[in-house]
Structure formats: C-alpha cells, structure tokens
Homo-oligomer: A and B are copies of this chain.
Amino acid sequence: MPINLRRSLMKKISGLIGVTALTSMTPALAWEYVLIDDQKPAQNWSIDSQQLGIQTETPFSIQLRTLHGGRQEGVSLLEIDNGTMKITLIPTRGMNVLQAEADGVRLGWDSPVEEVVNPAFIELNSRAGLGWLEGFNELVTRCGYEWVGHPGVDQGELLTLHGRASNIPASQVILSIDPKPPYTIRVKAELREQAFKKVDFAVTTEISTEPGSRRFTLNDTLTNQGDYPKEYQVLYHNNFGPPLLEQGARFVAPIRQVSPFNTRAVPELEHWDQYQGPTPGYDETVYNLIPYGDSEGNTLAILHNQAGTQGVQLDYNLNQLPVFSLWKNTDSLKQGYVTGLEPGTSFSYNRRWQRDFKGLNLVPQIGPGEQRHFQLSFSLLKDAAAVSQAVQKVESLQAGRDTELRPQPLIQPQMP
C-alpha cells in the first residue's frame, strides 16, 4: 500500500512533534504529513510556513481541530490559510468545503443548520429521504457517487437526497506541500462508498491551493473497485450567499440550453440568470442548463454581485460534468438565502427519472477498474476588472451562439 509506505516515511519525519524543517528534503519529494489514518486520530495540530522553513511572499498555515458539543461532537475541521484565502475543509463530512474567505469576501452561505454535523447523528432515510438536509450548510457539498437527486424509490430502494458522499468521513487524510515554488499546498483523502454486493467505490479527493492565491482546486477521482459496471452520478453542490448573492446579482456562463426544472420554475424562465434579493415565500427555482465549452470541454461559470465588482469563477470540464443545475434559493435570509452552481453528470431528479432522458447520458456507467476524474477550480474575483475578464471569457466561449430557452420542463416526474 503506497499509503502505508508514505506513513512510515512520515513517522520518521514527523517525530519532532509534527514540526519539520524542509531543508533536508530531496528536491523531488513533497513534504508530507499524515493528519488522519487508521492508526492516527484527528488531533488539534497546526503548522506554518515558518516552521516548515519555507519563504513565501505570503506566509501560510494549516490547522486541524475538532469540534465538540451538540451534533458536531467529534467533527474534524481542517483550515488552510494560504496567506490570502482561508479555506475550511471537513474531513468528517466527505471532505466538503465549509467555506473560503479572502479580501473580506466569504464564499459560502448561512444555512439554518448552524453546526457542522457529524454523520453519526444523521439518518439519511429520515424525513422521507431528506435527512441530508439536517447537515447541509457547506460551500461545496459532494453529491454522489452512487446517485444524486431528489429522494424517491428506484429499483425497490429509497434513494435518499443527493447520495451518501457528504456523510462519509474521509480516511487517510494527508497534507503535502510541494518542495519548490509555488509551494502548492495539497490535502488528499479517501472516501469509501462500499456495501457488499452493492457498491465498491473509492473516491480520492484532493484540494490544492497556492500560497497567496485567491483560488483553490478540487481534483477528485472515482474508482469502481468492483468487478461489475455500475451506474454512478455526481453533482458538485457549490453554494453561495451574500455578499456575492444579492438583488441584481447575475449568473454568467456559456449556455446552449436552459429549461425549467419543474413547473414552479416556468414563470421566471426569462430571468433565469438573474437573482432577486431575499424574498419571503420564494422557496426555490431550479434551471437545468446545458453549457457550452471549448474544444476540449473546458468551461466556466460565474456568479457576480449587482455592481459587477466581486464574484466567483468556477472552472471545470464538460467531458467530466456535462450538465449543470442552477439552484436559486433566494428566500429570506434566515431561511437560507443561497444559490447553487452545480455542475454534474446529472440533473437533480430522482435517478429513476433520469434514465429516461433522450440523448443525455444522465445515469452513466463506470466499468470495473475504471476511473472518472472531476476537477473544479474556485476563484474569487476580487474587483471589477477580474469580473469583467471572466465575463469576457464566457462571451468568447458562447461565441454568439444561441441559448435555447425551453418553455417546459424536460420531464415531469410522477410522484410515487
């Protein structure tokens, strides 16, 4: 096991109470530190660039800590402060990203769920399959990898909302720092989505950022470790509230087709890319998008505030994540004023309905031993120039092509 080899190596290195100078390192080898593995519990711990003997323009630090009390008892948080952006990861909840903050702008949102809830206290099957909502409050919530979508019975089994990934604690969480500039900071971990006869998925997650940057990147690899092809679905539920989301905020992306998710979303179809302020009684509208990308599938999506002076840019690839759900939950502030920019293999219908989509492969398969990669970058757009540059990139990808607005939902799921 490469993990174990690494571990024994690290044990030597980290003998000095977790504080190690980088000086004696061979140039090709990253500095690595095991934060959590089968032998090592999560412990309060921190390290910074000075302790590592690394000279960067912006000093950086990483901190691991554990939450206590309430339904967050025993939850690990891992905070990466790259000197400009502070990114908070949740090993206990599928390596989700709780929030990121730079320049006083917070990427994330205020859910009514105040705690970072330990999956041990969640029954996904409760609330008619909506138990997932008892823990939902992150910037990036992984949905999948067996299924995504609304709860419902498919093939005799209740598929709970958006799958299990976010409620699987990560194993083998390893921090590494590249030995040469830009000294990229990486956290790797593994999610095991396994059940005898049912599924044998391993998801290796990586989050990386560079000291001083306003950007971080997810790099996830799903492996079907089993001997049979399996259906899979994935959706990255990326959620943003104020200050980016506000009355007049805009969603901008190169889009080929827009359709309302359901009849609720039909009346606002014309304004599908515009946001209202906090609106009591609004609940949510969802639009199914099919984006355009470049010849290699690369594309982006932007959310920016009304003035166009701040925003977030999401870079990803349509060959990995071909469809996109735009979730506009511009209800009242306390209800959770938030929008989701959600690239995925699939829309948010229950899996049973997604098999019916003509011409779209919304319930893809992964063969034995096969892998699927999913890469997403999140960049804070700090000023009007950055927003403007990103919008121009979108226009360049749209290249004057039409955006089809389909007046009706692609399908009308029958309630069971």
Cβ A69 vs Cβ B115 within 8 A = no
| Contact residue among B71, B74, B124 (Cβ-Cβ distance under 8 Å from A168) | B71
Q: Out of B71, B118, B227, which one reaches A332, CB within 8 Å?
A: B227
A36 at the interface (CB under 8 A from B): yes
Question: Which residues of B have CB within 8 Å of A124?
Answer: 123, 126
**What are 28 sample pairs from A and B whose C-beta atoms fall under 8 A apart?**
A36-B68, A39-B65, A40-B68, A41-B68, A42-B68, A69-B170, A69-B172, A70-B192, A71-B171, A111-B196, A112-B226, A113-B195, A115-B192, A115-B194, A118-B120, A121-B168, A125-B125, A125-B126, A126-B160, A127-B157, A128-B157, A128-B158, A130-B198, A133-B195, A133-B198, A197-B335, A227-B334, A227-B335
Query: Which chain B residues lie closer than 8 Å to A198 at the CB level?
Result: 127, 130, 133
Q: A113-B194, A196-B133 are in contact. Are A168 and B336 (CB under 8 A)?
A: no
A156 within 8 A of partner (CB)? yes
A125 to B169, alpha carbons, bound, how many Å?
A: 20
Interface size counted on chain A using CB atoms at 8 A: 69
Does A200 count as interface, using CB distance less than 8 angstroms?
yes
For A228, the chain B residues whose CB sits under 8 A away are 280, 332, 335
Q: Does A37 contact B (CB under 8 A)?
A: yes
Determine the chain B residues whose CB is within 8 A of the CB of A190 once the complex forms.
70
- Whether A74 pairs with B73 at a CB distance below 8 angstroms is yes
Q: Closest approach, in angstroms, between the C-beta of A252 and any C-beta of chain B?
A: 26
A210 within 8 A of B: no
Q: Are A136 and B38 in contact (CB under 8 A)?
A: no
Which of chain B's residues have a CB closer than 8 A to the CB of A111?
196
> Does any Cβ of B come within 8 Å of A294's Cβ?
no
Which of A38, A72, A191, A368 counts the most chain B CB atoms within 10 A? A38
Whether, in the assembled complex, A225 has its beta carbon less than 8 Å from a beta carbon of chain B, the answer is yes
* A69 and B38 in contact, given A113-B195, A197-B335 (Cβ under 8 angstroms): yes
Say whether A137 faces chain B, with CB atoms less than 8 Å apart. yes
Asked whether any CB of chain B lies closer than 8 Å to the CB of A67, the reply is yes
A386: B residues at CB distance < 8 A:
none
Nearest chain B CB to A57's CB is how many angstroms away?
A: 32
Query: Using an 8 Å CB-CB cutoff, how does the interface string of A166-187 with B read, 1 for contact, 0 for none?
Result: 0011111100000000000000
Closest to A168 in B: B71
Tell whether A196 pairs with B136 under 8 Å between CB atoms, given A121-B169, A128-B157, A228-B335. Answer: yes
A138 to chain B minimum Cβ distance, whole angstroms, is 11
Q: Given the known A-B contacts A72-B38, A158-B128, are A200 and B123 also in contact in the complex, defined by CB atoms under 8 Å?
A: no
> In the complex, what distance in Å separates the CA atom of A36 from the CA atom of B68?
7
How far is B198's CA from A41's CA once the two chains are assembled, in angstroms?
34
Which positions 118-159 of chain A face chain B at CB distance < 8 Å? Answer: 118-121, 123-128, 130, 133-134, 136-137, 156-158
The answer to the question of A333 belonging to the interface, with a C-beta cut-off of 8 Å to chain B, is yes
Residue interface bits A292-336, CB-to-B below 8 A is 1, else 0: 000000000000000000000000000000000000000111111
Is the CB of A383 closer than 8 A to any CB of chain B? no
A268 within 8 A of B: no
Tell me the bound Cα distance from A136 to B195 in angstroms: 8
A35 to B383, CA, bound (A): 45
**A-B interface, 8 closest residue pairs, ranked by CB to CB distance from nearest:** A70-B171, A69-B171, A112-B200, A227-B332, A120-B120, A133-B196, A41-B68, A134-B195
